[in-house]
Amino acid sequence: MFLAFLGAEVVKVEPPGGDKTRQLTGMGSAFFPLFNRRKKSVVLDYRTPAGKEALSQPVIVASAPGGKLHTGAGSGM
């Protein structure tokens, strides 16, 4: 949530049928919208072959403000 507030693109992976907190009522009805603000959601069923394949792929991608960092960045300083 905090990374999303700082401008990061945050993707939440949910099971088929979605996050169970989406259906909370009463005092719990604010839980999902409160803790998932500014996040994108995708559904992944890890029990299927396609889901297992998608889960095995690296999904963390990061870049630094102003450009990409690479080995040796800043060595000319």
pLDDT digits (tens, 9 = 90+) for 28-77: 999 898 889 989 998 999 899 999 998 888 666 666 565 555 555 454 54
Euclidean distance between the first and final Cα of the chain, in Å?
A: 35
Q: Cα(44)–Cα(47) distance, rounded to whole angstroms?
A: 9
Give the per-residue pLDDT at 29. 92
